[in-house]
Amino acid sequence: MKQYDAIIIGFGKGGKLLAAELANRNWKVAIIERSPQMYGGTCVNAGCIPTKTLIHESEQAERLYRDDYSNQAKYYALAVGRKNKLVSFLRDKNYEHIKAHPNITLYDGTASFASNDTVKVVSRDKKEILLKGKEVFINTGSTPILPDVEGINGSKHVFTSETLLRQSKLPHRLLILGAGAIGMELATMYAGFGSQVTLLESGSRFMPKSDRDIAESMLESLKRKGIEIRLNAYALSVYDTADGVTLTYTDNADGTPYFLEGDALLLATGRRPMTDELNLHAAGIRTDAQGAVIVNGHLQTSSPHIWAMGDVRGGALYDYLSIDDFRVIANQLFGNKKRNTDDRVPVPYVIFTDPPLAHIGLTEEEAVKRGYSLQVSRLPAAAIPRARTLQHIDGMMKAIVNAHTGRIIGCTLFCVDAPEVINLVSLAMKNDLHYSALRDFIFTHPSMSEGLNDLFKAF
Ligand SMILES: Cc1cc2nc3c(=O)[nH]c(=O)nc-3n(C[C@H](O)[C@H](O)[C@H](O)COP(=O)(O)OP(=O)(O)OC[C@H]3O[C@@H](n4cnc5c(N)ncnc54)[C@H](O)[C@@H]3O)c2cc1C
Ligand SMILES: NC(=O)c1ccc[n+]([C@@H]2O[C@H](COP(=O)([O-])OP(=O)(O)OC[C@H]3O[C@@H](n4cnc5c(N)ncnc54)[C@H](O)[C@@H]3O)[C@@H](O)[C@H]2O)c1
């Protein structure tokens, strides 16, 4: 049996950063990845990078070939090729970085616990090897939740985000099940490329966690792109036709049955922690009702030498949280042990629609429910000179401030460059700055950030 100071299960974001950190400190590290197509993890290979590359491409395609499906389809195939090239480049870089380190051994295979310090690796040719580790880190990510809809398993036209992004044929009619982050981003993207998109959501409230003014703005923006949105959609069955797929669903509100035809159906109905093959009970590790590995604020499981990082520990599923999990663990192992996962709240998020939506902290509805005395300010994106120069005048900014303390409680930016600008608001909130710090800050001009001067002037 091979002995290591650390075993890392899954070559994801947090895991690869940790592998390099430990190896640089002379630890002997084993990292195990079940698929060579996934070196570097979901973000690089199937998540953030491919989607954001294609979303950018779709904006170009829309500008060049709007209402010209034939040219859009050609453009799409080329864009998928460029995306594949970028993904391969980044995957190779990730691989080389890990392979080059003398203290790291990469194992290709699926890992499971044999005991609480021993991990079994089964390679694709079914060879087994046992590894013993002083510390073990679980970084196995998440996997799509497949809804219980008759016919989805055998269909040739039903996809997850991962499999759809590999297709180089643009679907003329795309059906999407689930109006969450993936559903909205890919609806915007495919509509930009020229697909007719229908977005079906089982819930009755669009963007249930957002304020209604924001959700309405998003709804209008998606509709302007030609995306049809149907709420209360309870999917029943799917069957393949000669040239696509037929989806049957009922409207939850009144029971009306519907049949919809598409060239492809995307399942975007959530993701769950990837713990299926880990045999966690052999190590005495507990999971919650969603299958997430239960950890404390330092990311230790019930066995303190076994840790979990990234999507597999449940909660919000973002690449930057997997990175921060690495910082929390490194701080425990080598730092002052003061970091924990609670000290990073509030965490911003972004949905990369067009315009994109970025949010941090409480919504107005949440702040009212919690009994805050608050002030709310709104600014249309069109009022910001940079939005005019970029010809992106859709959307709005919204801020919520505690009326007594002047501290920012929450902020939503639904406008061009929102993914960048939200980081400034985040910095102000994390440093407990009074809202006037942003109101009076000298921002460059013209920039979307200077919209914050006006947004916070209203208080
Ligand atoms: C379509 C899509 C778009 C996204 N866009 C964004 C975005 O814009 N911004 C953002 O912040 N987040 C985004 N996310 C979420 C982000 O990708 C994830 O939060 C992040 O990649 C999780 O990283 P991780 O470190 O938990 O693990 P991952 O990067 O998922 O890595 C886990 C690795 O473990 C491997 N593995 C699993 N089980 C085993 C096993 N038993 N043995 C060996 N190996 C195993 C897997 O193959 C995988 O490579 C997106 C996700 C998706 C699906
Ligand atoms: N920009 C980003 O940071 C980004 C982008 C994409 C994904 N992600 C991460 O990936 C995770 C997964 O994304 P997602 O969009 O799959 O999940 P999600 O949880 O964001 O949304 C899933 C949606 O599907 C709906 N739904 C569930 N079952 C359904 C059914 N049978 N029929 C119709 N609708 C149904 C849910 O009500 C929900 O609105 C997100 O939680 C997010 O953390 C992040």
Beta bridge partners of 293: 287
Tens of pLDDT along 330-367?
999 999 999 999 999 999 999 999 999 999 999 999 99
Helix (DSSP H) and strand (DSSP E) numbers for the chain: 13, 22
What pLDDT score does 181 carry?
98
Q: Look over the chain and give the mean of its residue pLDDT values, rounded to a whole number.
A: 97
Q: What is the pLDDT of residues 8-30, one digit of tens each?
A: 999 999 999 999 999 999 999 99
For 68-80, what is the mean pLDDT? 96
Which comes out higher in pLDDT, residue 458 or 41? 41
What is residue 168's predicted lDDT score, i.e. its pLDDT? 96
Of 97, 359, 392, 445, which is the active-site residue?
445
Quick one: average pLDDT of 290-297?
97
* Rounded CA separation 102/92 (Å): 18
Give the model's confidence band at 458: pLDDT under 50 very low, under 70 low, under 90 confident, else very high: confident
Q: Average pLDDT, stretch 147-163? A: 97
Nearest Cα residue to atom 35 of ligand 2: 178
Cβ of residue 202 lying under 6 Å from some atom of ligand 2: yes
**Cβ < 6 Å from ligand 1: which residues?**
9-14, 32-35, 38, 41-43, 46-48, 51-52, 110-111, 139-141, 161, 182, 274, 277-278, 310-312, 317-320, 322, 352
CB 179 near ligand 2, within 6 Å? yes
Residue 68 in this model has a pLDDT that exceeds 90: yes
- CB of residue 350 inside a 6 A radius of ligand 2: yes
Say whether pTM exceeds 0.80.
yes
Token pair recorded at residue 214:
């924001």
Task: From residue 177, give the alpha-carbon distance in Å to each of 4, 76, 158, 230, 416.
Answer: 44, 22, 10, 10, 26
**Number of Cβ within a 10 Å radius of residue 272:** 18
The helix or strand, by DSSP H or E, that contains position 378, with its residue range, turns out to be: strand 374-380
Tokens describing residue 408: 């920012």
Does position 420 have pLDDT exceeding 90, yes or no? yes
Structural domains for the chain: 2-141+272-344 (3.50.50.60), 158-269 (3.50.50.60), 349-457 (3.30.390.30)
The stretch 401-418 carries a mean pLDDT of 98
Q: What is the percent of the chain with per-residue pLDDT over 90, rounded to a whole number?
A: 99
Distance 40 CA to ligand 1 centre (A): 9
User: Ligand 2 pocket: which of 186, 260, 271 to mutate (most atoms <8 Å of CB)?
Assistant: 271
Confidence label for 459 from pLDDT (cuts 50, 70 and 90): confident
Place of tokens 């979303």: 55
**What gap in Å lies between CA 453 and CA 324, rounded to an integer?**
30
User: Looking at ligand 1, which atom is closest to the CA of residue 322?
Assistant: 25
What confidence score (pLDDT) does residue 303 get? 94
- Expressed in angstroms and rounded, the spacing between residue 274 Cα and the centre of ligand 1 is 9
Does any ligand 2 atom lie closer than 6 A to the CB of residue 357?
Answer: no
Ligand with the closest atom to the CA of 48: 1
What is the rounded CA–CA span in Å between residue 414 and residue 417? 9
Measured from the alpha carbon of residue 37, the closest ligand is 1
Distance 53 CA to ligand 1 centre (A): 17
User: Is 147 a pocket residue for ligand 2 (Cβ < 6 Å)?
Assistant: yes
Q: Which ligand is nearest to the CA of 54?
A: 1
- Residue 434 is a catalytic residue: no
- Residue nearest (by alpha carbon) to ligand 1 atom 9: 48
* Binding-site residue ranges for FAD: 52, 140-142, 311
Point out the ligand 2 atom lying closest to the alpha carbon of residue 184.
15
Distance CA 68, CA 178 (A): 27
Residue 203 CA: which ligand 2 atom is closest? 37
Q: What interface predicted TM-score (ipTM) does this complex get? A: 0.99
Q: How far is the CA of 297 from the centre of ligand 1 (A)?
A: 21
Residues 6+ apart with CB under 8 A from 356: 350, 414, 415, 416, 418, 419
Best residue among 8, 9, 34, 43 to mutate for probing ligand 1, ranked by most atoms within 8 Å of CB: 43
The per-residue pLDDT for 193 is 97
Question: For residues 300 and 325, is the Cβ–Cβ distance under 8 A?
Answer: no
- Average pLDDT rounded to a whole number, residues 413-436: 98
Cα distances from 158 to residues 63, 193, 322, 400, in angstroms, run: 29, 19, 29, 41
User: pLDDT category, 288, cuts 50, 70, 90?
Assistant: very high
Q: Which residues are annotated as a binding site for NAD(+)?
A: 178-185, 201, 270
The residue whose CA is least distant from atom 30 of ligand 1 is 141
Q: What is the CA radius of gyration of the chain?
A: 23
> What pLDDT, on the 0 to 100 scale, is given for residue 396?
97
Residues annotated as binding site?
52, 140-142, 178-185, 201, 270, 311
Q: pLDDT-derived band of residue 216, with 50, 70 and 90 as boundaries?
A: very high
Cβ(52) to ligand 2 under 6 A? no
Cβ neighbors of 100 (< 8 A, separation 6 or more) are none
Nearest ligand atom owner, CA of 274: 1
Q: What is the pLDDT of residues 157-208, one digit of tens each?
A: 999 999 999 999 999 999 999 999 999 999 999 999 999 999 999 999 999 9
